[in-house]
Amino acid sequence: MYTSFDSRLYPEMETPTKMAKTEFWHFMCRSSMLFLSIAAAGAIGVPESALAQRLTGTENGEWRYVGGDAGSTRSSPLNQINADNFGDLEVAWTWRSDNFNSTPYYFFRATPLYVDGRLYTVAGGTRRQAVAIDPPTGETLWTFREPETIRFLRSPRQAYGKGVAYAEVDGREVIYLTTPGFFLWALDAETGRPLENWGQPVPLDGFSQTGVVDLLPDLLEDWGPWQDYLADAGSYDADYGIPRELGMITSSAPPIVVNGVVVVLTSHQPAYGQTRIENVPGDIMGFDAATGEFLWKFHVIPRPGEFGHETWENDAWYWSGNVGQWAGASADPDLNLVYLVTNASTIQSYVGHRPGDNLFGGSVLALDVTTGERRWHYQIHRSDQWNYDLPVPPMLMDLTVDGQRVPAAIQNTKQGLVFAFNRETGEPIWPVEERQVIQTEVPGNYTSPTQPYPTLPEPLDPIILSGITDEFVIDYTPELKEQALDVLSGFRLAGLYVPPLPYDHDQTEFINQVGCQGAGNVVSHPPTADPSTGMLYASHRRTCSAAGYLGPTNGEDVDDPSYASVTEGGATPNETPTTGRTVAAWAPVAGAPRLPTIDGLTVYKPINNHLSSVNLNTGRKRWSVPVGETPEELLNHPLLGGQDPETGSRGFSIQMVAGDLLVQTKAYSEGAQQIDHEVTPMLHARDKETGEILASVELPAPAQYGMMTYMHEGKQYIVVQIGSIHADFPGSLVALTLP
């Protein structure tokens, strides 16, 4: 059953004096918006230009979207906390999520919202409970938990909930939640109870008869394999969900509400865990925010007669699936557009079962929120077989390019490329080049002849444009460079889009192919931007590795039907392997030669953790600084000759713009995932113009994923997501404020 509790709703539990004060404060808050606006723009030092240039969501000290504003810039104009007083910050409260589940801390990726005097988030583990938190104390005000279903137990992404969505509809404040079982809930923001007269009854024990929508029927209704299943005497089971032979679908990113429409996102089992070539497409759906009525659906795999259908050869459009949107969404309400990013279709490494460029996989999509129609799109990478799925939604802000005002959408990638589009038209702000890429040698596989490379903005790491050329070979001593060149002579070197080789390839010229990335999995360290200046701040590291080998599967079904619970350690009920069209023709094999090291040193110049800024008005990098110290085992390595390569320490930088500051910390610790905490975790205030650390305070535990800030009762707070490998603060939030 769902649970819901708010102490402020029960007067018998409070003294009359306290209730009178509470009611008076809420009255004053609600009737003083003009005063708060003036304070936000003047008394707390928010520049008027900043308020004018950012999208809605952070007015009056609020943080209404997971990304702060609707443009997902993860920034706020608040600057009551500034360089002069940042060092005085103190812990106001700590909120722990391990009371709600036992999920490991590193899956806690939910950034809270702050709206109208409350914080809202999810207890970031398998149950994905919605919670409301009191902003000044950290007290839990209410919780909501969906009743258990078999389809929840089968969900392939139970532990990846990123938060909730908020909207005010017909005078009602509503929290919207999508769950691992693939239901959409509308909750009263004040009580946490399912909204009355909303949605449709779900015929399952324990479910509320209002406030919920079962998302599966609308997703499946016009899908060919589902129609075939029903015609073959199949039936829908709301408890179990989709039969395994058809696919598995869930959600991880929260919905987003734009102009009265709830846009629901989808996700699937990660491609690197799949062997089945068929799945259900992650079509995007819109629902009426006031009633829960189904409005529209966008087919992420185009059907006959739809734009892009010809990019799915071999009839793969009919049975292939995925193309989910696990990274989240941003929106421009004035343009009536929602912006989403997609991942690839089924299977990583081999895509011969779905030849073609595979629209709309690996794409930025701009959809009309009223109709669900595609306004524009851009495919960042074609026929993905490298796990290059887009990890963050586009960041929306206005730029000034060559003296002209441009409404922009900035897309960061795992590779370290940065794309810039006019968010109204979809046209690239700077030219994008089509560059030839290495073609597959695996029989039956497919690779696109070219891939797009932006000429500007500059990539976070230039190595991705060329691979390990002479500029990037480790050269701290002449002897070291000579050894590195000797190692590299046995490999084919390239930048991005390096496909695996067949297991029995001809090794007379080289033994493997090596590619490089310049960012990493940005989902764990999302970038931030400053709409008032047009600056982007992003964390990145350098990785170069051998592409590996593929071997024939000979049709053996090695799919693990219990994948849904592998991470969580539970059991998946009623699942058995199935036969039929299930297995890719080729799959990764062990034993491929890796890129060797030289006594533990990489043959390329290493970057563990750098933080870079890019001026998006010009497309040029402004500065790049190492985050943390070079690890001692590298700094003291005898082959370096006493030089410091300034790699930064392990982990990733996490950042947010707050007023005049770039607030930044380290993921997992200031060194590595060290149980003994040899290095104290810190929260830094950096100069936005130079990256210099201006002030620092200690955190109670290492940080992870994201942070946010808000103004409550005239006081600014910074909330950091923290987690500790020795479980002192597993999956927690810590709020800091001035004394």
pLDDT, tens digit (0-9, with 9 covering 90-100), for 299-326: 999 999 999 999 999 999 999 999 999 9
Q: What pLDDT band is residue 175 in, cutting at 50, 70 and 90?
A: very high
Beta bridge partners of 656: 663
Lowest mean pLDDT among 211-215, 642-646, 660-664: 642-646
Distance CA 246, CA 153 (A): 17
Give 171's Cβ-side CA count (13 Å radius): 0
Q: Is the pLDDT of residue 167 over 70?
A: yes
40 close to 51: Cβ distance less than 8 angstroms = yes
Q: Is the pLDDT of residue 364 over 80?
A: yes
Q: What pLDDT band is residue 717 in, cutting at 50, 70 and 90?
A: very high
Backbone angles phi, psi at 598, to 5 degrees: -110, 95
Residue with tokens 């409350």: 118
Q: Is the pLDDT of residue 41 over 50?
A: no
- Residues 6 or more apart from 13 whose CB is under 8 A from it? 7
Q: Provide mean pLDDT across the span 406-412.
A: 98
Output the CA torsion 469→383→180→568 (10° steps).
Answer: -50
Reported in sequence order, the residue ranges of 223-341 that DSSP labels E, i.e. its strands, are 256-258, 261-264, 284-288, 294-298, 329-332, 337-341
- Residues 6 or more apart from 489 whose CB is under 8 A from it? none
Please name the helix (run of DSSP H) or strand (run of DSSP E) that holds residue 378, with its range, or none: strand 374-379
* The CATH number of domain 7-737 is 2.40.10.10: no
Q: Provide mean pLDDT across the span 340-357.
A: 94
Distance CA 724, CA 109 (A): 14
Q: Which of the pair, 675 or 201, is modelled with greater confidence?
A: 201
Distances (CA, A) of 212 to 134, 194, 290, 295: 25, 7, 12, 15
Mean pLDDT of the chain: 87
Closest by CA to 182, choosing from 108, 252, 287, 130, is: 252
130 close to 120: Cβ distance less than 8 angstroms = yes
Output the CA torsion 110→114→117→120 (10° steps).
Answer: -20
One-letter amino acid at 46 equals V
Query: pLDDT at position 669, please?
Result: 43
One-letter amino acid at 117 equals G
Q: Among the ranges 243-247, 248-252, 290-294, 561-565, which has the highest mean pLDDT value?
A: 290-294
Distance CA 275, CA 137 (A): 48
Query: pLDDT at position 10, please?
Result: 30
Query: pLDDT at position 25, please?
Result: 38
SS3 698: strand
Q: What pLDDT band is residue 104 in, cutting at 50, 70 and 90?
A: low
Query: pLDDT at position 583, please?
Result: 83
Q: What pLDDT band is residue 23 in, cutting at 50, 70 and 90?
A: very low
638 close to 672: Cβ distance less than 8 angstroms = no
- Proportion of the chain above pLDDT 70, given as a percent: 86
514 close to 490: Cβ distance less than 8 angstroms = no
Distances (CA, A) of 121 to 202, 207, 230, 471: 24, 21, 38, 46
Lowest mean pLDDT among 83-92, 597-606, 631-640: 631-640
Query: pLDDT at position 47, please?
Result: 44
- Following DSSP, what letter does each residue of 674-697 receive, concatenated? -TT--S--EEEEEETTT--EEEEE
Query: pLDDT at position 101, please?
Result: 66
Distance CA 310, CA 297 (A): 20
Sheet holding 395-401, edge to edge: 395-401, 404-412, 418-422
87 CB neighbour count, 10 Å cutoff: 11
Distance CA 116, CA 189 (A): 10
Q: Is the pLDDT of residue 397 over 50?
A: yes
Q: Which of the pair, 717 or 271, is modelled with greater confidence?
A: 717
Q: Is the pLDDT of residue 564 over 60?
A: no
Please state the separation of Cα 362 from the chain's center in Å. Answer: 14
Burial class (CB in 10 A: 0-12, 13-18, 19+), 223: buried
Q: What pLDDT band is residue 103 in, cutting at 50, 70 and 90?
A: low
Please name the helix (run of DSSP H) or strand (run of DSSP E) that holds residue 188, with its range, or none: strand 183-188
Distance CA 506, CA 708 (A): 53
Q: Is the pLDDT of residue 141 over 90?
A: yes
Q: Is the pLDDT of residue 605 over 50?
A: yes
Query: pLDDT at position 102, please?
Result: 55
Query: pLDDT at position 650, please?
Result: 84
Q: Is the pLDDT of residue 487 over 80?
A: yes
**In the numeric block, which tokens belong to residue 226?**
């589902």
Burial class (CB in 10 A: 0-12, 13-18, 19+), 56: middle
Distances (CA, A) of 249 to 283, 311, 409, 491, 568: 10, 23, 28, 39, 17
Query: pLDDT at position 333, please?
Result: 98
Distances (CA, A) of 403 to 153, 400, 406, 430: 55, 6, 9, 14
Distance CA 455, CA 336 (A): 29
CA pseudo-torsion sign 100, 109, 709, 669: positive
Q: What pLDDT band is residue 507 in, cutting at 50, 70 and 90?
A: confident
179 close to 185: Cβ distance less than 8 angstroms = yes
- Residues 6 or more apart from 465 whose CB is under 8 A from it? 453, 459, 495
Query: pLDDT at position 54, please?
Result: 86
Closest by CA to 353, choosing from 379, 321, 380, is: 321
Q: Which of the pair, 87 or 725, is modelled with greater confidence?
A: 87
623 CB neighbour count, 10 Å cutoff: 16
Lowest mean pLDDT among 167-171, 247-251, 517-521: 517-521
Distance CA 658, CA 93 (A): 20
Q: What pLDDT band is residue 647 in, cutting at 50, 70 and 90?
A: very high
Q: What pLDDT band is residue 577 in, cutting at 50, 70 and 90?
A: very low
Q: Which spans in 96-207 are helix H?
A: 150-153
Q: Among the ranges 32-36, 345-349, 479-483, 727-731, which has the highest mean pLDDT value?
A: 479-483
327 close to 67: Cβ distance less than 8 angstroms = no
SS3 283: coil
The radius of gyration computed from the CA coordinates of the chain, to the nearest angstrom, equals 25
Lowest mean pLDDT among 326-330, 351-355, 375-379, 518-522: 518-522
Query: pLDDT at position 14, please?
Result: 34
494 close to 544: Cβ distance less than 8 angstroms = no
**In the numeric block, which tokens belong to residue 95?**
């909120």
End-to-end CA, the chain:
41
Q: Is the pLDDT of residue 56 over 90?
A: yes
pTM attached to this predicted model: 0.90
Query: pLDDT at position 419, please?
Result: 98
- Following DSSP, what letter does each residue of 466-527 receive, concatenated? H-S-GGGB--SSHHHHHHHHHHHTTSEE-SS--PPEETT---SS-S-EEEEESS--GGGS--
* Structural domain boundaries in the chain: 7-737
Respond yes or no on whether the N-terminal peptide bond of residue 360 is cis (omega within 30° of 0). yes
Q: What pLDDT band is residue 283 in, cutting at 50, 70 and 90?
A: very high
CA pseudo-torsion sign 329, 323, 526, 106: positive
| Strand 535-540 with 586-589, pairing | unpaired
Closest by CA to 726, choosing from 105, 90, 74, is: 105
Q: Provide mean pLDDT across the span 678-684.
A: 83
703 close to 720: Cβ distance less than 8 angstroms = yes
Q: Is the pLDDT of residue 201 over 70?
A: yes
Q: What pLDDT band is residue 125 in, cutting at 50, 70 and 90?
A: low
Query: pLDDT at position 685, please?
Result: 98
